[in-house]
Amino acid sequence: MSICDSISVEESSGITFLQVDNAFATSRISLFGAHVLSFVPKSDNVDRLWLSPHAFLNGERPIRGGIPICWPWFADNHGREKGELPAHGFLRTQTWQIQSSEDTEAGTRIVLTPNFSRGEGFEYDCQVSYEILVGEQLSVTLKTENTGIVPFTFNAALHSYFAVESIGKTEITGIEGEYKDKLEDWAIKPTPSPYVFSGETDRIHQHAAPDVTIDVENTALTRVTSMGHDSIVVWNPWQGAASIADMDAFGYRHMLCIETSVTNGVTIEPDHAHSITQIVTPL
């Protein structure tokens, strides 16, 4: 298959990387996990995504940072004992294939597919594709199509790590209602206002916010637009980062996860499909 002009291909430590460079932005994508690692708009040359300096980039384990794909379950919500199946599913540890790529007026469009979408813990017939558009915005869409004869239910997330200069000076807007707090045995709490950070955060917001804005030092940096989701997950490990093997002990100061998620389950009938989309817009 031919690759469009804005993409160059690199091989390193057994992983194939796509380097996108067009009139609007640059981006680096790992075919291991269909993992977008960076998005740098040429308008300000500021990477909107955070990648751990200790991330494994050799295929040994999922990549810490960028935009990991969670599918067909979120976290350990797979119906079995914790650890019996891989957290966040089995797409993020596969090598994906390029189905198509093209240079368009809006930017570079890439469509990727996994080697398999049926595995232990999810034994249904379906087809998964991932469309990436690198332009003035970064748009990623995960599409799941039911190709079988029975309906199935799944969860998913675009587990994006956003770069911030200082988490202590970061505020997000756009989320309302209540959230489930993982750190307090899933207690239901109201969304804080202002939404700032002073400690470990692990929340599933039940409000499917269409737009969340990241402000750093009262300056709008990034807007995160979501579609096809039922919740927004917000996560920062704070000092718990010291116990994460592929994360610097102080890395939490410069990242914030805002995840376009399906955590309450979506059911797809035969011959139907469902997509979740996240659009990252520099402000």
Tell me whether residue 54 is one of the annotated catalytic residues.
no
Cβ neighbours of residue 134 closer than 8 Å, sequence gap 6 or more: 20, 22, 24, 25, 26, 27, 39, 107, 108, 110
Catalytic residue among 35, 78, 88, 259: 259
- Is residue 252 a contact partner of residue 197, using CB atoms and an 8 Å limit? no
Catalytic residue among 88, 159, 205, 229: 159
Pairing of strands 161-163, 178-181: unpaired
Residue-wise DSSP of 227-278: ES-SEEEEEE-GGGGGG-TTS-TTGGGGEEEEEEEEEEEEEE-TT-EEEEEE
Pairing of strands 211-216, 170-173: antiparallel
Tell me whether residue 159 is one of the annotated catalytic residues.
yes
Task: Report, in this order, helix, strand and coil percent for the chain, each rounded to 5.
Answer: 5, 50, 45
Any idea which residues carry the catalytic annotation?
A: 159, 259
